[in-house]
């Protein structure tokens, strides 16, 4: 089997494990026992079927990009070069994602290609690959360009894809699992909690970064209430876990396309 086919099967299996299973268990038929972890920032006005066709299109684009990967460019790294190559690709992809995402929001022309990803204000893991084909190409071509520019090991790029899909799936979950005690440490707080991307889907105009909060902070594009919203959600979670009530009202400001701004934390 050729390289693209092998990698494509590997990606499909990965998608099933880190995207479809969390979606089914936490969003489509949510486990009642997990209700207290929900953040309920947004309002779902439609079902989930609108994500299916764009996702299938993204898989076709992904396959095309896999065919473009210059396999002869991969090198065999060892020692410190191998260990440094993963953080390097994460940092570069973090910047690549921020600036391409920022551009798609700032340009009216480009936003038409990103609009597909913003069809509901409460994202779920099913939105992870729900892209217009042009946007899908912008995202996946990174994996073909990177080995042409920076010598890297195939296993590093494979792990990078796992990292990207896991972080994206977690960021699109309407649940905040990031523990508050970790968030109290400034070094760890650099990593975006799920609240960050959920607020991006709700308010549209802020929170463009993917893994780390640096670019949003440096460029002044963090939502001004990001940290307070995260704390509010964690406070609501602790009330739910210590109370017999299954409903806690958490008032958030209204997001784009929303007609109500108060949701319950009911499963
Ligand atoms: Zn966006
Ligand atoms: Zn998203």
Per-domain residue ranges for the chain?
A: 3-240
* 127 exposure class (CB count in 10 Å sphere: 0-12, 13-18, 19+): buried
Token readout for 255 is 């997001």
CB 160 within 8 A of CB 154: no
Cα separations in angstroms, 62 against 20, 65, 140, 176, 237: 17, 5, 6, 29, 38
pLDDT of residue 255: 56
CB 110 within 8 A of CB 222: no
Q: What's the pLDDT band for 44 if we cut at 50, 70, 90?
A: low
Task: Reduce the DSSP state of residue 250 to 3 states and report it.
Answer: strand
Measured on CA atoms in the order 184, 188, 190, 191, is the torsion positive or negative? negative
> How many A from CA of 60 to the centre of ligand 1?
21
CB 160 within 8 A of CB 86: yes
pLDDT of residue 247: 46
pLDDT of residue 252: 57
Over 70-101, what HEC string results?
CHHHCCCCCHHHHHHHHHHHHHHHHHHHHHHH
Ligand nearest to the Cα of 125, by number? 2
11, 115, 124, 126: which is closest to 61 by C-alpha?
11
Q: How far is C-alpha 46 from the geometric centre of its chain's CA atoms?
A: 20
> How many A from CA of 19 to the centre of ligand 1?
19
> How many A from CA of 157 to the centre of ligand 2?
22
List 212's β-bridge partners, or say none: 191
| Separation of alpha carbons 229 and 221, rounded Å | 16
Task: Reduce the DSSP state of residue 234 to 3 states and report it.
Answer: helix
DSSP calls for 129-178: T---HHHHHHHHTHHHHHHHHS---HHHHHHHHHHHHHHHHHHTSSB--S
| Separation of alpha carbons 139 and 58, rounded Å | 10
pLDDT in tens, 153-204: 999 999 999 999 999 999 999 999 988 877 777 777 789 999 999 999 988 8
Cα separations in angstroms, 218 against 90, 158, 191, 207, 208: 18, 29, 14, 12, 12
Cβ neighbour number for residue 64 with a 10 Å cutoff:
16
Cβ neighbour number for residue 204 with a 10 Å cutoff:
16
> How many A from CA of 105 to the centre of ligand 1?
6
* 210 exposure class (CB count in 10 Å sphere: 0-12, 13-18, 19+): buried
> How many A from CA of 118 to the centre of ligand 1?
7
Q: What's the pLDDT band for 212 if we cut at 50, 70, 90?
A: very high
> How many A from CA of 141 to the centre of ligand 1?
18
> How many A from CA of 154 to the centre of ligand 2?
27
Asked whether the predicted pLDDT for residue 73 surpasses 50, the reply is yes
> How many A from CA of 78 to the centre of ligand 1?
37
| Helix 3-15, helix 52-68: angle, nearest 10 | 150
pLDDT in tens, 83-111: 999 999 999 999 999 999 999 999 999 99
In this prediction the pTM is: 0.87
> How many A from CA of 237 to the centre of ligand 1?
27
């Amino acid at each position: 089997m050729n390289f693209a086919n092998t990698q494509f099967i590997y990606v499909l299996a990965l998608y099933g494990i880190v995207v479809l299973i969390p979606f089914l268990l936490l969003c489509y038929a949510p486990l009642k026992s997990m209700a207290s972890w929900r953040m309920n920032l947004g309002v779902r006005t439609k079902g989930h079927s609108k994500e299916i066709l764009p996702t299938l299109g993204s898989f076709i684009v992904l396959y095309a990009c896999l065919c473009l990967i210059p396999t002869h460019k991969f090198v065999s790294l060892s020692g410190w070069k191998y260990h440094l190559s993963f953080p390097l690709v994460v940092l570069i992809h973090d910047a690549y994602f921020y600036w391409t995402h920022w551009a798609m929001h700032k340009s009216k022309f480009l936003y038409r290609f990103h609009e597909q990803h913003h069809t509901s204000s409460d994202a779920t893991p099913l939105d992870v690959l729900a892209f217009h084909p042009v946007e899908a190409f912008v995202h996946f071509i990174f994996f073909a360009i990177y080995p042409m520019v920076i010598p890297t090991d195939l296993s590093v790029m494979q792990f990078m894809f796992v990292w990207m899909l896991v972080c994206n799936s977690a960021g699109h979950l309407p649940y905040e699992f990031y523990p508050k005690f970790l968030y109290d440490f400034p070094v760890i707080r650099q990593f975006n909690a799920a609240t960050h991307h959920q607020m991006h889907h709700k308010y549209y105009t802020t929170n463009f970064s993917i893994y780390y909060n640096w670019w949003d902070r440096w460029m002044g594009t963090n939502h001004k209430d990001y940290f307070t919203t995260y704390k509010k959600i964690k406070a609501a979670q602790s009330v739910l876990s210590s109370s017999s009530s299954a409903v806690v009202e958490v008032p958030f400001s209204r997001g784009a396309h929303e007609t109500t701004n108060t949701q319950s934390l009911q499963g």
